[in-house]
Amino acid sequence: MNTDTLYYFEKAPIPKAVAHFAIPMMLGTSMTVIYSILNAFFIGTLNSTAMLTALALTLPLFAIIMALGNLIGVGSGTYISRLLGEKRWNDVKHVSSFALYSSLLLGFCTMVIGLPLIDLIVQHLGATPESFEYTKGYVQVMLIGSPIMILFFTLENVVRSGGAAVTSMVGMMLSVCVNILLDAVVIFALNGDVVGVAVATVLSQLIACVFYILHIAYKSSVLTVSVKWFRASRAIVINVWKVGFPVFIMSVFLGAMSLVFNQFLVGYGDQAVAAYGIASRLMQFPEFILMGLCEGVVPLIAFTFAANAMRMKGTLTFTIKVIAVLAVLFGLVVYLVSGHLIGLFTSDPHLIEMGSYILHVTFLSLFMTGITSLFTGVFQATAQGTAALIMSVIQGIVLIPVLFIANGHFGFHGVVWSLVIADAVAFLVGACLLFGLRNRLKPDLGEWLQE
């Protein structure tokens, strides 16, 4: 394995090691959110609430496709990092080949199953008569492109798990930059709509996939794309599934939560759905920055769990401090300029008012969201499958009944505040699980958790 990569895993000062793995991931995820925001911006220039609504309604489907990619990608990635810590080089090649080809197969199955059911899918996404055709067009493109999209999310995780954090970031940024360029061409040059924006997304991820495959084939000393290394052994499937399945369930629950949330908002009109669509995209920026931080350190946590528990302790302590600082900084920005941020997407004063309110409320739980992501990352990195599975479902389990109760008693305000309540419960459950598992991890880490 490349000695520079081993240096960051084993010997670099912890802040430097965390920066090496996390900053590229944070930049990559932030670029992904910027692309999502700009998608809404480009559609917003067409002055169509129906198109903005369609864009918001397709978020659950996007979450499910991403979940399928993470099922293979995160499961394979954390296993690869643990294998690197144990210096099992041939097994790393088997897992990386398994990840690539199994994600392609999963993508084709998604396309074949989804396309005949497209009208049913669009109906269950909550499309109104005004937004139905726009939503259907977007969904159709996403289903056709699902093999590419699933492969993209898989390869991004696999490349990063092999120590090439910067390369993983470059691939994500390449996808985003190409997407923005194609969006501009579709909207301003070709007079397109949301369907063209969807096509731009798939094409940009295809280019990123090619970039990742070329890196693995010609630059990586530990990963491979060769089919001759493909092996679906019991050990590989179990280790990938043990970590990947909880991540998949979590992503599916996020999609289901978004779907249920949209169903409640539809009762307050298309403006409520559009306002949430804009606010949620803006909220994704700090959330994905923190998620990028937590996901970025997962390979480091997995490696140090196998090789050096005290280094793992230092990594966790430093990461918590960074989460706290970022949450405070982002909170200040949002509370000062939220109206201006929403105003970038619409000139409707009612939409601006609703969107600003949603931003103010949801930002209250930003720190808890960041720490919860770190809890989940620790469970993934240390192969604590049951704990990871609990974290995957707890927010959705809490949110749905809270939505019914809050909507019945407090209307629109109750719907919005239900998100904060679900985040708080997930945070408390994660803290209890981590403390409860302190003796299952390693003695050094257990002592740290008791401090």
pLDDT value of position 448: 47
pLDDT band at 112 (very low <50, low <70, confident <90, very high): very high
Q: What is the dihedral of CA 377, 383, 384, 388, to 10 degrees?
A: 40
Check if the beta carbon of residue 380 is closer than 8 Å to that of residue 244: no
pLDDT band at 122 (very low <50, low <70, confident <90, very high): confident
Q: What are the tens digits of pLDDT across the range 227-276?
A: 888 887 888 888 888 777 777 776 666 666 666 777 777 777 777 777 77
Which residue in this structure is represented by tokens 């939409």?
351
Could you give the C-alpha distances from 111 to 124, 144, 220, in angstroms and in order? 18, 6, 31
Residue 214 lies in domain: 10-450
> Is 81's pLDDT higher than 50?
yes
Q: What is the mean pLDDT of the chain?
A: 79
pLDDT value of position 364: 82
Q: Give the pair of three-digit tokens for residue 165.
A: 């954090």
Q: What type of residue is 33?
A: V
> Does a structural domain hold residue 3?
no
pLDDT band at 213 (very low <50, low <70, confident <90, very high): very high
Q: What end-to-end distance do the CA atoms of the chain give, in Å? A: 36
d(CA 190, CA 203): 16
Q: What are the tens digits of pLDDT across the range 184-195?
A: 887 777 777 778
Q: Give the pair of three-digit tokens for residue 53.
A: 């609504």
> Does a structural domain hold residue 349?
yes
pLDDT higher for 428 or 44?
Answer: 428
Q: Give the sign of the dihedral formed by CA 18, CA 23, CA 28, CA 34.
A: positive
State what percent of residues in the chain have pLDDT above 90: 9
pLDDT higher for 333 or 447?
Answer: 333
Q: How many domains does the chain have?
A: 1
Q: What are the tens digits of pLDDT across the range 322-357?
A: 999 998 888 888 777 777 777 776 667 777 788 888
d(CA 74, CA 140): 26
> Does a structural domain hold residue 315?
yes
> Does a structural domain hold residue 24?
yes
pLDDT value of position 58: 76
> Does a structural domain hold residue 4?
no
> Does a structural domain hold residue 174?
yes
> Does a structural domain hold residue 1?
no
d(CA 321, CA 377): 16
Q: Give the pair of three-digit tokens for residue 36.
A: 């999502």
Q: What type of residue is 333?
A: V
> Does a structural domain hold residue 281?
yes
Could you give the C-alpha distances from 384 to 143, 169, 195, 421, 422, in angstroms and in order? 32, 27, 41, 25, 22
Check if the beta carbon of residue 265 is closer than 8 Å to that of residue 45: no
pLDDT band at 150 (very low <50, low <70, confident <90, very high): very high
Q: What are the tens digits of pLDDT across the range 372-422?
A: 888 888 887 777 777 877 877 777 778 778 888 888 888 888 888 888 888
Residue 441 DSSP one-character state: S
Nearest to 133 by CA among 145, 118, 153: 118
